Amino acid sequence: MKSLILLTGARFLVPLFLVFSLYVLLRGHNAPGGGFIGGLIAACGFTLYAFAAGVEAARKALRIDPRTIGILGLICALIGAFASAFTGQEPFAGVWGEVWGYAVSSVLVFDIGVYLAVFGGMLTLIFALEETA
Amino acid sequence: MAEQRTGSGKARVFGYAGAIAAAVMAGLLSLALPEVLAGGRVLFGIDWAPSLGVSLAFMLDGLSLTFALLITGIGSLIFLYATGYMGDHPRFGRFVLFLFAFMLSMLGVVMARDLITLFVFWELTSVTSYLLIGFDHENAQARRNALQAMLVTAAGGLALLAGFILIGLAGGSFDLAQILTGPGLQDSSYYTPILILVLLGAFTKSAQFPFHFWLPNAMAAPTPVSAYLHSATMVKAGVYLLARLHPVLGDTPAWQGSLTAAGLVTAVMASILALRQTDLKQALAYTTLMALGTITLFLAGSSEYALTAAVTFLIVHSLYKAALFMVVGAIDHGTGSRDVALLGGLRGALPITALAAALAGLSMAGVPPLIGWIGKELLYAGAATISPEPLVILGVLTANALMVAVAGVVALRPFWGARIKTPHIPHEAPWQMWVGPLLLGGLGLVFGLGAGLLQPMIEAMLTTGFGRDHAAELHLWAGFNLPFFLSLATFAMGITLYLMRDRYRRAIADLLARLPGFDPGWDRFLDHFRTFAAWQTRLIQPGRLTAYLTATFVVMVLAIGGALLLRRPVIAIDLSAPLLIWVIAAVTAAGAVLTLGTRSRIAAISGIGTTGIGVTLIFIFFGAPDVATTQLMVETLSAVLFAIAALRLPAIVERRSKSRQLAHAVLAGAVGLTVTLIVLAVTTHPLDRHITSFFEENSYSLAHGLNIVNVILVDFRAFDTFGELTVVFLASVGAYAVLKRRSRKAGP
């Protein structure tokens, strides 16, 4: 059951979802948002696309298997968590630095990990359900 | 066995590496000798879980160093022996790994300074010995026996853990160095439970009656493993524990009574059964039981004689037992048989093995001038100090006389007398296989002639291990005293038994046929246990979602709702709210009613979605944008998930009876009421803001973030978040695996 209206709409909406999810991820430190919400929003975007164009198309558009994305997320979170080892602090302590005038931190790396793990986890589940049901 | 020996033999290098590594460890350990012999304790280690008072700490004193040297020294010879015995086995590399892991676990047990550390290593020995006993895993009997050994010893280990925790509570510390120098726990109110639990642990590990049945079965292991487990390690762990805790728990009627009874019964019973065996390895297994019983029996005592006898016999036994097991393996290897009836006159074909066997066998029989003679004299001297003395002396005399006879069967019979045709043409073992037994047998002679050589070590064990002023002296010739005449009686009885062994075997076999066996009892027990486990699994895990939910909700209503009602909370209901909130609440409620009332799945899903969106609106209204966004996303995704799954199911058909529907309705109402009560009770109390204000104050200064929710998630509570992430992702992968497996089964 393919709907032309949904498919056309999804083509416009999915990029918006993704960009918005990145925006939410990055602003999360000082304003409502963060990796968890961002990951959910991005997952919603791809779910919409999977509904409109089919799971196979969605998997192709994603290019990487969602399970791999989830594992990358966990690894990313671990890197963020243990970056503090280089400064001699305990694990999960934030490390802060400055790049071209922007404050960056291991906390952001951790948050990106959260984003990817949630995104990958949700899509693993949804794609699998769609394919089997 | 023959068809398995197809490996390339390249793994031999691991065997040599293991032997060298163990020897180096023995060398390193002996660096501690000067300080330990001077009566000191060498302490080292690192903090492990300091908040729980648990540390990875080690201690070397007379007792632990003796054990550690036996473990590494004999271990090194065992690695060498195994290389000759089974170096061409296709899984030899794995074997060496298991054996090494086992050796390290044993070292951990005897060197642990912390009771929890000791327990962890104790369980590790159970696990690694399981792998070793069941190494021949294609053999069902080997698997069964390995499992039996592990279940018995690990169950004892759990009792031991409980005992250790009680010791920690009673003594205020898990640190052995502190516990041992403390006042002892004999007067503690926990003493009886501690004693019972610790004895359960030690008796299962050291195979004391009535837990002895696993040990002869553990003979399913390859011979190098038996030689190791039954001489210096595994079974000695229980004895080590008894010796270690002797100052803390010993010297009471309960300790003396239980150790005397268990030790005496085990020693006498095992020696009676040992002579009955015709398989050399089985015979040795029962003599191991006898030795363990004897050591346990002498640890019951408190006199210097009894304790000196216990520790000396421990060393004596480790030396000759390891050697004899290796000899039996060499006989098996060289002739293809371990049955005494099929062996004889092998001294010409296996001259070096015969020499090693003679040295070890004479030590086992207690013939002068070997160390075994000194050990036996000490046993008799010590037996006279353990009450009830006549019974103990009689028991030790019987056991020793039978040992003389068994030594004759194991060490003499195969090598002397007329040559009997064996399955293979007999040949001498490779050098790796005779170095160990010859060295250990030779040591028995060296320590026997130079009786003073062991004296300093025994002194150190008695002073630091048991808190005595000095040990009894080791003499090759102690004069015409009671032990001397008892020794003469032992030889007379032993030689008589040896000559009458065939008639003796028949008599014992007749007797045993009429007694219930322990092993069938164990199998019956396991069968019943499995039936029980299956029954209770069906009871708790029926596999129906309604059953799980009912159980969860009933507990929730009874525990939380009941507790709330009992507490009689002050609840103030404030109905003043803007009209908009009332409208949102009405929509939320309408969604719930729709879900309950409809027969259409799509309508039910829409109803749940409506409720969720209603809750989201309330979050927005009360200024929680983060929560609201998350809620919105979660609602969307769960509606999608529900839709995918539920829309493919048939329409809802009511199959429940009226009474069951009513029961569910009552339960649902009770849950709703409970949650409402909780919310009202919580909101009536003034909000405790001290955690909130901590985050408000520190969010920016410590974590450079203004969004408190996110700062908590990724910084203050990042560890929790990481745990949750792992759960979320693994749950998805788990669901993925289940779904894909289903579709592959049903699919094309």
What is residue A106's predicted lDDT score, i.e. its pLDDT?
Answer: 84
What is residue B3's predicted lDDT score, i.e. its pLDDT?
Answer: 38
- Indicate the pLDDT class of residue B745, thresholds 50, 70 and 90: low
What is the overall mean pLDDT for chain B? 87
Task: Note whether A128 contacts B719, CB cutoff 8 Å.
Answer: no
Name the residue among B273, B415, B310 with its Cα closest to residue B352. B415
CA B228, CA B235: separation in Å to the nearest integer? Answer: 10
What is residue B663's predicted lDDT score, i.e. its pLDDT?
Answer: 92
B582-613 pLDDT, tens digit per residue, is 999 999 999 999 988 888 888 888 999 999 99
Helix axes B191-205, B235-249, angle to 10 degrees: 160
For residue A123, what is the enclosing H or E element? helix A106-132
- Indicate the pLDDT class of residue B387, thresholds 50, 70 and 90: confident
Considering only CB atoms, which chain A residues are within 8 Å of B640? Answer: 47, 51, 126
Structure tokens at A49: 């696309």
CA distance B374 to chain A (A): 58
Structure tokens at A123: 């899509």
Which residues, listed in sequence order, are joined to residue B57 by a DSSP beta bridge?
B45
CA B51, CA B54: separation in Å to the nearest integer? Answer: 8
* Higher-pLDDT residue of B647, B180: B180
Residue B637, chain A, CB below 8 Å: the answer is: yes
Total Cβ atoms within 10 A of residue B278:
14
Helix axes B304-335, B280-300, angle to 10 degrees: 170
Name the residue among B228, B233, B229, B238 with its Cα closest to residue B263. B238
| B360 touches B345 (CB < 8 A) | no
Residues 6 or more apart whose Cβ sits within 8 Å of residue B81:
B224, B227, B326, B329, B432, B433, B435, B436
Residue B646, chain A, CB below 8 Å: the answer is: no
Total Cβ atoms within 10 A of residue B147:
15
Answer whether residue B659 shows pLDDT above 60: yes
What is residue B102's predicted lDDT score, i.e. its pLDDT?
Answer: 94
Answer whether residue B259 shows pLDDT above 90: yes
What is residue A2's predicted lDDT score, i.e. its pLDDT?
Answer: 73
* Higher-pLDDT residue of B692, A71: A71
Q: Which amino acid is at B417?
A: G
Mutate: best of A111, A129, A130, partner B, most B CBs <10 A? A129
Residue A130, chain B, CB below 8 Å: the answer is: yes
The mean pLDDT value for B647-670 works out to 85
Domain extent at residue A88:
4-132
- Give the A window 52-71 contacts with B, CB below 8 Å: 67, 70-71
Residues 6 or more apart whose Cβ sits within 8 Å of residue A42:
A17, A18, A21, A22, A115, A119
Residue B633, chain A, CB below 8 Å: the answer is: yes
Answer whether residue A80 shows pLDDT above 70: yes
Answer whether residue B685 shows pLDDT above 80: no
What is residue B4's predicted lDDT score, i.e. its pLDDT?
Answer: 45
Task: Note whether A126 contacts B641, CB cutoff 8 Å.
Answer: yes
What is residue A1's predicted lDDT score, i.e. its pLDDT?
Answer: 56
CA B125, CA B150: separation in Å to the nearest integer? Answer: 9
What is residue A133's predicted lDDT score, i.e. its pLDDT?
Answer: 61
* Higher-pLDDT residue of B700, B112: B112
Mutate: best of B725, B727, B744, partner A, most A CBs <10 A? B725
CA R_g for chain B: 34
Burial of residue B336 (CB within 10 Å: 0-12, 13-18, 19+) is: middle
Answer whether residue B497 shows pLDDT above 80: yes
Least confidently predicted of B5-14, B185-194, B448-457, B718-727: B5-14
Residues 6 or more apart whose Cβ sits within 8 Å of residue B214:
B145, B148, B149, B152, B153, B207
What is residue B1's predicted lDDT score, i.e. its pLDDT?
Answer: 39
Count chain A–chain B contacts defined by CB atoms under 8 A: 144
Answer whether residue B6 shows pLDDT above 60: no
What is residue B559's predicted lDDT score, i.e. its pLDDT?
Answer: 92
Residues 6 or more apart whose Cβ sits within 8 Å of residue A63:
none
| B640 touches A47 (CB < 8 A) | yes
pLDDT above 90 coverage of chain B, percent:
34
- Indicate the pLDDT class of residue B2, thresholds 50, 70 and 90: very low
The mean pLDDT value for B438-461 works out to 88
What is residue B245's predicted lDDT score, i.e. its pLDDT?
Answer: 92
CA B598, CA B602: separation in Å to the nearest integer? Answer: 9
Task: Note whether B728 contacts A118, CB cutoff 8 Å.
Answer: yes
Task: Note whether B644 contacts A126, CB cutoff 8 Å.
Answer: yes
CA B111, CA B251: separation in Å to the nearest integer? Answer: 24
* Higher-pLDDT residue of B722, A28: B722
CA distance A112 to chain B (A): 10
The mean pLDDT value for B374-403 works out to 88
CA B109, CA B103: separation in Å to the nearest integer? Answer: 10
- Indicate the pLDDT class of residue B7, thresholds 50, 70 and 90: low
What is residue B478's predicted lDDT score, i.e. its pLDDT?
Answer: 76
Among B70-79, B170-179, B339-348, B730-739, name the most confident range: B70-79
Which residues, listed in sequence order, are joined to residue A57 by a DSSP beta bridge?
none
SS3 assignment, position B89? coil
CA B719, CA B715: separation in Å to the nearest integer? Answer: 8
- Give the A window 3-32 contacts with B, CB below 8 Å: 24, 28-32
Considering only CB atoms, which chain B residues are within 8 Å of A43? Answer: 633, 637
CA B263, CA B251: separation in Å to the nearest integer? Answer: 16
Residue A118, chain B, CB below 8 Å: the answer is: yes
Least CB-CB distance to A130: which of B644, B710, B714? B644
- Indicate the pLDDT class of residue B53, thresholds 50, 70 and 90: low
Residue B698, chain A, CB below 8 Å: the answer is: no
Answer whether residue B166 shows pLDDT above 90: yes
Least confidently predicted of B223-227, B256-260, B490-494, B683-687: B683-687
B468-491 pLDDT, tens digit per residue, is 888 888 887 777 888 888 888 899
Name the residue among B707, B600, B601, B363 with its Cα closest to residue A108. B707
Answer whether residue B121 shows pLDDT above 80: yes
Task: Note whether A126 contacts B640, CB cutoff 8 Å.
Answer: yes
* Higher-pLDDT residue of B382, A86: B382
Question: How many domains does chain A contain in total?
Answer: 1
The mean pLDDT value for B692-713 works out to 79
